[in-house]
A and B are shown apart, each in its own frame.
Chain A
Amino acid sequence: KQWYQRRVAITAGIKMSTNTPQQLFVNEPISSHAFNKDLSQVVVSNASAETHIFKKGAGGKYVLDTTLKEHLERVTSVDWAPNSNRIVTCAGDRNAYVWNLQQDTGEWQPCLVLLRINRAATYVRWSPNEDRFAVGSGARLLSVCYFDPENNWWVSKHIKKPIRSTILCVDWHPTNYLLAVGSCDFKCRVFSSALKELSDKPQTSPWMPKLSKFGTLLVEFSTNNGWVHGVKFSPSGAQLAWVSHDSSVNVVSMDNQTKVFTVLTASLPYCCLLWLSEDSFVAAGHDNCPDLFNVSRDDVKYGARLDIKKEKLSEHNMSAMARFQKLDEHGLTETGTKLHTTHVNCITDIRAAATSNGKVTRFSTSGKDGKLVIWEVNALCSAIQGLSI
Chain B
Amino acid sequence: SSGINAEWPLRPGEMSKNTNSSAFRTVDVDAYDEDQYEDDAREDASGVQEVQDRAAQVKQLLNQTKCKDALKLALQNPPLGHKDTSVKQQNYETVISVLKAFRTPDIDQAVEDLSSTEVDVLMKYLYKGFTCNPDKSASFLLWHEKAVKKGGMGSIIRVMVDRKGV
A contact set with B: CB distance below 8 Å: 140, 164-165, 185, 222, 224-226, 245-248, 264-269
Bound-state CA distance A124–B10 (Å) is 58
What is the distance, in angstroms, from A243's C-beta to the closest C-beta of chain B? 12
Q: Which residue of B lies closest to A264 (CB)?
A: B116
Of A140, A185, A264, the residue contacting B158 (CB under 8 A) is A264
Given contacts A266-B152, A266-B155, whether A225 and B120 have CB atoms under 8 Å apart is no
A-B pairs with beta carbons under 8 Å apart, 27 shown: A140-B35, A165-B37, A185-B37, A224-B161, A225-B158, A225-B161, A245-B161, A246-B157, A246-B158, A246-B161, A247-B153, A247-B154, A247-B157, A247-B158, A248-B154, A248-B158, A264-B117, A264-B120, A264-B155, A265-B152, A266-B151, A266-B154, A267-B152, A267-B153, A267-B154, A268-B154, A268-B157
| Contact of B40 with A by CB under 8 A | yes
Bound-state CA distance A268–B37 (Å) is 26
What is the distance, in angstroms, from B78's C-beta to the closest C-beta of chain A? 14
What is the distance, in angstroms, from A164's C-beta to the closest C-beta of chain B? 5
| Contact of B84 with A by CB under 8 A | no
Bound-state CA distance A266–B154 (Å) is 4
Find out whether the CB atom of B155 lies under 8 angstroms from the CB atom of A222.
no
- Residue among B116, B120, B151, B158 with most chain A CB within 10 A: B158
What is the distance, in angstroms, from B147's C-beta to the closest C-beta of chain A? 11
How does the 8 Å CB contact mask read for B101-145 relative to A, with 1 for contact and 0 for none?
000000000000000110010000000000000000000000000
Of A165, A222, A264, the residue contacting B154 (CB under 8 A) is A264
**Apart from A225-B161, A264-B154, A269-B157, what are 6 other A-B pairs with CB-CB below 8 Å?**
A225-B163, A247-B154, A248-B154, A264-B117, A266-B151, A266-B152
Find out whether the CB atom of B40 lies under 8 angstroms from the CB atom of A222.
yes
Contacts of A264 in B (CB 8 A): 116-117, 120, 154-155, 158
Contacts of A268 in B (CB 8 A): 153-154, 157
| Contact of B69 with A by CB under 8 A | no
Q: Which residue of A lies closest to B38 (CB)?
A: A164
Q: Which residue of A lies closest to B158 (CB)?
A: A246
Contacts of B37 in A (CB 8 A): 164-165, 185
What is the distance, in angstroms, from A125's C-beta to the closest C-beta of chain B? 25
Bound-state CA distance A265–B153 (Å) is 8
| Contact of B44 with A by CB under 8 A | no
Given contacts A268-B153, A268-B154, whether A226 and B120 have CB atoms under 8 Å apart is no
Bound-state CA distance A89–B157 (Å) is 32
Q: List CB contacts (< 8 Å) of B148-166 with chain A.
A: 151-155, 157-158, 161-163
Contacts of A266 in B (CB 8 A): 151-155
Contacts of A224 in B (CB 8 A): 158, 161
Find out whether the CB atom of A265 lies under 8 angstroms from the CB atom of B40.
no
Bound-state CA distance A149–B100 (Å) is 73
Bound-state CA distance A164–B40 (Å) is 11
Contacts of B157 in A (CB 8 A): 226, 245-247, 268-269
Q: Which residue of B lies closest to A265 (CB)?
A: B154
Bound-state CA distance A180–B155 (Å) is 27
Q: Which residue of B lies closest to A164 (CB)?
A: B37
What is the distance, in angstroms, from B54's C-beta to the closest C-beta of chain A? 23
Contacts of B162 in A (CB 8 A): 225, 246
Bound-state CA distance A247–B159 (Å) is 11
What is the distance, in angstroms, from A225's C-beta to the closest C-beta of chain B? 4
Q: Which residue of B lies closest to A222 (CB)?
A: B40
What is the distance, in angstroms, from B41's C-beta to the closest C-beta of chain A? 12
Contacts of B35 in A (CB 8 A): 140, 164
Contacts of B163 in A (CB 8 A): 225
Bound-state CA distance A267–B116 (Å) is 13
Bound-state CA distance A265–B151 (Å) is 8
What is the distance, in angstroms, from B81's C-beta to the closest C-beta of chain A? 11
Bound-state CA distance A268–B155 (Å) is 9
What is the distance, in angstroms, from A169's C-beta to the closest C-beta of chain B? 17
- Residue among B40, B151, B153, B163 with most chain A CB within 10 A: B153
Contacts of B158 in A (CB 8 A): 224-225, 246-248, 264
Bound-state CA distance A266–B40 (Å) is 27
Contacts of B120 in A (CB 8 A): 264
